[in-house]
A and B are shown apart, each in its own frame.
Chain A
Amino acid sequence: MAKIKGFFIKIWQWLKDHAPTRRRIIQVYSALLFNANIKGFFKPNEIIYTGNTKVMCVPGLNCYSCPGAVGACPLGSLQNALLLHSKPTIMYILGILVLFGMFLGRTICGFLCPMGLFQELLHKIRSPKLKKNKVTRVLSYFKYVLLALLIIIPLLYKGIPFFCKYICPAGTFEGGIGILSEAANSDFFAMLDYLFTWKFALLVIFIVACVFIFRFFCRFICPLGAIYGFFNKIALLGIKLDKDECIDCGKCIDACPMDIKKVGDHECIACGKCVDVCPVNAISWKGSKFIFKNKEAKNPVVDSPIDIAKLKNVPANTEAENRQVTAENTSTSQEVKTAINKPQKPKYSRQNKLWLKITAPIVATVVLVSALVYYNIILKPDPMPSGSSVVQVGDEVPSFSLELYNVPQATLTATPTGVSHSFTAKFDGDLKIQISANNVKAFNGDVEVSSLVVNKGDVVNLTFKADINTEFTVYFISYFDTTKLNGKVTVINFWQETCDPCVAEIPHFEDLYDFYNGQINMIAINDDDDYTRRRIQAFIDARGWGDYDMMFGRCLPDDVFNAFKVLGGKNAYPITVVIDTNGKVSNITQGGLSYDELKLIVETAMVS
C-alpha cells in the first residue's frame, strides 16, 4: 500500500515539477483560439474557413491558408496590401500592426504566436544547444533585411508576396502540408514543383535548426517579430528594467535565450526568464503596478540587501559609501561581488491578484469554448467544395457563360457635340456598350446604340454625347458561352492577379494560341467576386496583355452559368480546364503550366 502511495506521490511530484508554465498555457490557448476552426482539419468538403472573422488579423504568425485559421495573417495581409497598392488596405493593416505593437510589442512573440510555441516545443528535445554568440547577434539583424525586401519587392514589383512565397515556413507547414494531408485534396499534388521542393526543404532546415537553436526562425528570419521589436521599448506590456536598481551583474543577459543587448530591447520576447534570475529585482513586468498591490515584496532570490551580500559571499559595504558596485570579477566568477546598502524599492505583492487568478481563466475559457462551439458546431459547413474543380475529367462540359474583355475600356469626356472614340474589335459577335454615366449616349453615325454586332478586325467609330460636359468610362463587353465552343479544343484558365504562377503562365497561353492560329479557344478568366472589371482590365493593360489575341474574361456572381462556379469554382489558383473537340473535359491542371506542358495537354485533347 505504502509503495503504491509512494508511486502516486512520485507521479504527482513529477507532474508538479513539469507542470506547464502560465506562459506555455497562454501559448497553447492562443494557438487554439487562432485556429478554432478545428473541423477544417477533418472535413473533406472544406479546404479553409472562409467566414467574416478573417477580416481581422491575429497578432502572431498564423497562416490564413491553415484549415483551422479563423483570422488573417498580419504579414500575409501586409504583403498583399503592398502588392495591390491599395491605400485603404495598407492603412488598415498598418493600423492593426501599430496597435498590436503598441499594446503588446514582442510579448506577442513570447505569449501569443503559434510559431513561437512550435519552435519552443522543438527546442524542448533534449540535446546540446547552440548558445547565443557574436554570430547569432549579427544574424539577428537578418530579419530586418527580409523586412526591407518584404516591403520593397511588392511595392516595386506587383505580384510577388516575396516572404510568403519563398520563405515563410508557417505557410508551408500550416497551409501547404495542412491542405495536402487531407485525402480529398489529392489533386493539389499535381501542382507541386520546384517551389514546393524549395519550401519543404527550407521547412525541414528550420525545424532541425530549432531543435538546437532557440527560436531559430524568430531570431533570424521573422519580419513580423522585427516589426513588433520596433515597439518593444514603448509597448504597454512587456519587460522593463529599472536602471537605478540594476547592479550590472549580467545574469539577465546570460539567462536570456534571445540576442538581447539590454533587457527589454527589440529582441526581447517577454519570456520572463530574466525576471527570476535578477538578484536585485531590477526587472519587472510592465503594468504590474496595476495588477499587483504596492507592498514590500518577497524577492524570489533574496529578501534584503544584507542577504544579497551574504549570497554573493562578500561583506556589505566593501567599497563604497552608497549603492556601489564592485563587479571586477564578473568576467570570470560566478560570485558577483555586489554590495548594496540602500534599501530596495518597494515591490508589488502578488497577494492581491486573487481576483485576477479567478476571473482571467474563467473569461479565457468562456471565450475559447464559445469560439470552438461557434466555428465547429454552430457555423454551417462552407459551401466551397474541396479539390481543384467541380467537373471531373471525362465529364460532358456543363453549360457555362462568361463576359469577355473585348476592347479596352476608355475614360472620356462627353460633350453636347460629341466625343469620338474608335477601336478595333478583337472577337466576333455582340458587343455591349456599357457607360458609367446615365446622361451619356453612344452613337454609331446618327443612330443611338447600346450594342453592336462586330466581326474580328472591324474598326468601329462611336460618338458619345451628353447635354453637359460629363466624364465617363465606357466598357465594351462580349459574351462567351458553351454554344461558341464550335467543336474546337477550349482551354479555360482560372487566374487571379495576386497569384504569381497565374501571371507567369498567361504568356504561354497566348504563345500556344498563336501557334494554333485560332484553331483553339483560349480564355483566361477571373471571378468578379474578387476583383472588379476595371481593376482587372487595368492589370491586363499594364502587362501588355491587352494586345493578346486570346480572350480574357470574367464571371458575374449572379450568373447561374458562371463558368467559375460550374467549371472551377474553387478558392485555389491557378486551375486550367481543357475541353476536347467532343465537348468533354479532357484535362484539369492545378498549378502553373509551362509552354511545353500546356502544348502536350492541348495535343492530347485534340486527338481524343
Chain B
Amino acid sequence: MDKVFALKIRKIFGWITVGLTVFLGALFLGNVLDIYFTGKAKGVGAVVYSREIASQHLATILPFFIFYVVWVIAVLVIYTKFKVDTKPSVYSEPVYIFKRYQKRLISANALFEGDREPLFAQYNSVLDKIKKLKIITLAVWAVAIIAFLVYMFLPSSFTDKNHATEEVLRMAYIVLPIFMVAFAVNIVCNYVISNICNGFLPSFKDLTKGLKPVNTSRFYDNKKFILILRIVIIFIGALFIILGIALKDNDGKNGVFYVLQKAINICTECIGLG
C-alpha cells in the first residue's frame, strides 16, 4: 500500500479521534460542573449530588460514549489495515547532540591550536552563555523554593487549623504564581539554550573531528561501591520495618496498627468524596 496514502488515512482518523476524545472529556466536565453549580444555586441545604441526578446526566452522555467506544475500536482496525512501517529514528534534540560532541572534547587533553583555536574560543563563549542561562534557571527555581519554604514556615501561615482547604488554597494563590514564573523562565531558557547549541553544531563538528567520545564515570559505575550501598540500604530498609513493628508510640500502638487503621477505614476526603 502507498505509504503516503496510508499515512494520510491514519492522520485523518487520528485527528477525528482527538476531537472526539476532547469532546467526550468536555461532556463529562460540563456535566459535573452543571450538577455542582445547579445544586449550589438552589441554596443552603439543597441536594447537590444524588444518584438520580448523576444517572440523568450520565444518560445524556451515554449514547455519545457508546459511539466513542465503537469509533475507537474502528480506528484501531483502520490503523491495523493501514499499517506504516517506521524505521527507528535518532534522538535529535540539539542539546543532546551538543552533549555528545562534548563527550569527544574530553579526549582532547591539549588546548586546540591552529585553525581549531578560534572554534575553541567560540565554544567557550557558547558554554559561557549556556552557563549564564542555567544560572538564571536555577536562580528562579531557588527563589520559588525559598518563597515556598518561607511561606510554609511563617508563623502566620496555616494558623486556622480547622479550615485546611482554605489554608491550602491560600498557599496555592501565593506560591503557585511564583512557581509558574519559574517554570516559564525555565522553558524560555531551555529554548534559548537549544538555539545556541543548534547554531554552534556545525562548528562543533569541525572542532571535534577525529576525536573519540569519552564516557566519564560516575559513582554508580563503581561496582564495589554499589554493592556496599545496596547492602546498607537493604539493611536500613529492613531495620526500619522491624523498628516500625517493634516500637510503640505513647498509646502503645506500633506502625502496623496505624497503617491498618487507615487502610480499612474509608476517609471520604482521601477519595474525593467530601
Contacts and interface: CB of A to CB of B under 8 A. Distances in A.
B47 A190 contact: yes
Interface stretch (A165-173, A355-363, A447-455, A456-464): A165-173
Interface size class of B (residues with CB under 8 A): 35 or more
Given A50-B264, A84-B258, A138-B187, A243 B215 contact: yes
Interface in B247-269: 247-256, 258-269
B222 to A, nearest CB: 11
Contacts of B97: 250, 330-331
Interface string A283-325: 0000000000000000000000000000000000001100011
B14 A534 contact: no
Interface string B80-116: 1000000111111110110010010000000000000
A165 B256 contact: no
Contacts of B167: 157
Interface string A83-94: 010111111111
B32 interface: yes
B203 to A, nearest CB: 13
A65 B259 contact: no
A63 B209 CA distance: 55
> Could you say which of B54, B194, B239, B259 has the most chain A C-beta atoms within 10 Å of its C-beta?
B259
Contacts of B240: 91-92, 94-95, 98
Contact of A573 (B164, B250, B268): B268
A147 interface: no
B92 A197 contact: no
A32 to B, nearest CB: 19
A560 interface: no
A597 B45 contact: yes
B16 to A, nearest CB: 9
B29 A204 contact: yes
B162 A507 contact: yes
Given A95-B237, A157-B161, A197-B36, A501 B274 contact: yes
Interface of chain A, helix or strand or loop or mixed? helix
Given A102-B230, A590-B268, A55 B260 contact: yes
A196 B262 contact: no
A175 B249 contact: no
A327 B217 CA distance: 21
Interface string B186-201: 1100110010000001
A415 B215 CA distance: 74
A92 B259 contact: yes
B21 A64 contact: no
A504 B152 CA distance: 20
Nearest to A54: B263
B191 A134 contact: yes
A186 interface: yes
Contacts of A496: 265, 267
Interface of chain B, helix or strand or loop or mixed? helix
A325 B239 contact: no
Interface string A123-137: 011111000001101
A258 B234 CA distance: 27
A572 interface: yes
Given A50-B264, A145-B179, A331 B50 contact: no
A99 B179 contact: no
A600 B260 contact: no
A332 interface: yes
A35 to B, nearest CB: 13
A54 B272 contact: no
Contact of A334 (B33, B90, B246): B90
B63 interface: no
B135 interface: no
Contact of A204 (B25, B229, B256, B270): B25
A331 B254 CA distance: 58
Contacts of A244: 215
B213 A88 contact: no
B98 to A, nearest CB: 10
Nearest to B90: A250
A126 B72 contact: yes
B76 interface: yes
Contacts of B229: 234
A165 B260 contact: no
Interface stretch (A21-29, A73-81, A343-351): A73-81
A138 B179 CA distance: 12
B11 A128 contact: yes
B14 A175 contact: no
A80 B259 contact: yes
Contacts of B51: 183, 186, 189
B162 A543 contact: yes
Contacts of A590: 268, 274
Contacts of B65: none
A558 interface: no
A573 B267 CA distance: 6
Given A88-B247, A102-B233, A102-B234, A81 B255 contact: yes
Interface of B: 10-11, 13-15, 17-18, 21-22, 24-25, 28-29, 32-33, 35-36, 44-45, 47-51, 53-54, 72, 75-76, 78-80, 87-94, 96-97, 100, 103, 148, 152-153, 158, 161-165, 167-168, 179, 183, 186-187, 190-191, 194, 201, 205, 209-210, 212-213, 215, 217, 220-221, 226, 229-230, 233-234, 236-256, 258-274
Given A84-B258, A99-B237, A200-B32, 9 more contacts: A77-B263, A95-B242, A164-B271, A193-B274, A201-B33, A251-B89, A319-B210, A574-B268, A597-B44
Q: Which 5 A-B pairs have the closest CB atoms?
A: A92-B244, A95-B240, A92-B255, A199-B272, A175-B271
Interface of A: 14, 47-52, 54-55, 57, 63-65, 69, 71-73, 76-77, 80-81, 84, 86-99, 102-103, 124-128, 134-135, 137-139, 145, 148, 152-153, 156-162, 164-166, 168, 171-172, 175-176, 179-180, 183, 186, 188-201, 204-205, 207-208, 211-212, 231, 233-234, 236, 243-244, 246, 248-255, 277, 319-320, 324-325, 327-328, 330-334, 336, 496, 498-501, 503-504, 506-507, 530-532, 534-535, 543, 571-574, 590-592, 594, 596-597, 600-601
